Structure 1
Amino acid sequence: MTGVAVVAVDRLGRRPLLLGGVSGMVISLFLLGSYYLFLDDLAAIAVAALLLYVGCYQLSFGPIGWLMISEVFPLRLRGRGLSVAVLVNFGANALVTFAFSPLKAWLGAGIVFYVFGVTAILSLFFIFFIVPETKGLTLEEIEAKCL
């Protein structure tokens, strides 16, 4: 799916791939939550939801997140901006990784996946209302558009 994103990103744009991919992630997270709460005898649901999640992530946040952080910072701040963005990205990954087991023990896996699903819905709103489309723009045009 990363290959599909790489081939399609300049034709379709960043925002459509982000919105479509994250929408698929929302569906998969709610399917996973439902599997753990209501459908635990249907393992195929969990497998399908995991495959959907990975595919949609690799179509959206996986490659496009890295692409966009290299585009949206003004040239004079790009080095520091990228450093902070990468730090926040890896910090958030570590937080999710280390918090998952304690949250699962406290709330149960189904609720944790629902919470992740709600977080993904919030990211859809962020993408829709805040993230600029940078398809076909030079770095200078992106800088002028984002400031």
Structure 2
Amino acid sequence: MFHRKCLKALTIGAGIVLFQQLIMTGVAVLVVDRLGRRPLLLGGVSGMVVSLFLLGSYYLFLDDAPAGAVVALLLYVGCYQLSFGPIGWLMISEIFPLCLRGQGLSIAVLVNFGSNALVTFAFSPLKALLGAALLFYIFGAIAVLSLAFIFFIVPETKGLSLADIEAKLL
């Protein structure tokens, strides 16, 4: 059972993260139409890459300085909420042609939640097998691949109507 001080610290920490998520999602919503989807994705995922490599380095070199892990975690959450958090949902609603939108959204949501479940359930066994440092470096490498995918494949849809996006993609 948790000691009261530990429970209080966890509650405060969760509150800080939730407040940060709210603020950063609000920022993304306010600037997405001005800056565009790709710049937010590229900037946010770049920050996620940095934070994941910082987390790996924390476990490798700075295990006795928990502030480093907290900073890296907050950076990750903030960057995620500027990019994949809201923009991923926005873009999947824009990029499928009208005739396939229902099926495309269904598959995209299934893959999203399936991937989330896979990472959640595999994290502890992989951490035990590989160690936290290597696991976060692997996640960082996956984020680098995501960054390359966004850079080379993901189209900018800022200022385009759904019909314009459909014509551009077909």
Same fold (TM over 0.5): yes
Match of 1:57 among 77, 80, 83: 80
Give 1:111 shift. Answer: 0.5
Distance 2:169 2:122 in 1: 34
Which structure 2 residues correspond to residues 27-66 of structure 1 after superposition, within 5 A?
27-66=50-89
Q: Name the CA distance, whole Å, in 2 between partners of 1:51 and 1:146.
A: 36
Deviation per residue, 1:78-118 (Å, 9 max, x gap): 00000000000000000000000000000001110000000
Partner of 2:132: 109
Rounded Cα–Cα distance in structure 1 between residues aligned with 2:61 and 2:168: 47
Per the alignment, residue 40 of structure 2 pairs with 17
TM-score, length-scaled by structure 2? 0.86
**Pairwise CA distance, 1:146:** 1.2
Identity %: 83
How far residue 127 of structure 1 moved from its aligned partner, in angstroms, is 0.1
Query: How far apart, in 1, do the equivalents of 2:94 and 2:26 lie?
Result: 20
Aligned to 1:74: 97
Read off the aligned partner of 1:124 and give its amino acid letter.
L
RMSD: 0.4
Give the TM-score normalised by structure 1.
0.99
Question: Aligned-pair distance for 1:58?
Answer: 0.3
In the alignment of these two chains, the number of paired residues is: 147
Which residue number corresponds to residue 146 of structure 1?
Answer: 169
Whole-angstrom distance in 1 between the partners of 2:41 and 2:169 = 18
Q: CA deviation at 1:14?
A: 0.1
Instruction: Give the 3-state SS of the residue equivalent to 2:62 in structure 1.
Output: coil
1:126 and 2:153 correspond: no
Shift of 1:42: 1.5
Deviation, structure 1 residue 40: 0.7
Structure 1 residues not aligned, in runs of 5+: none
Letter of the 2:115 partner, please give it.
A
- Give the ranges of 4+ consecutive aligned residues of structure 1 lying more than 6 Å apart after TM superposition: none
CA deviation digits over 1:28-52, x for unaligned, max 9? 0000000001111221110000000
Which segments of 5 or more consecutive residues in structure 2 lack a partner in the other structure?
Answer: 1-23
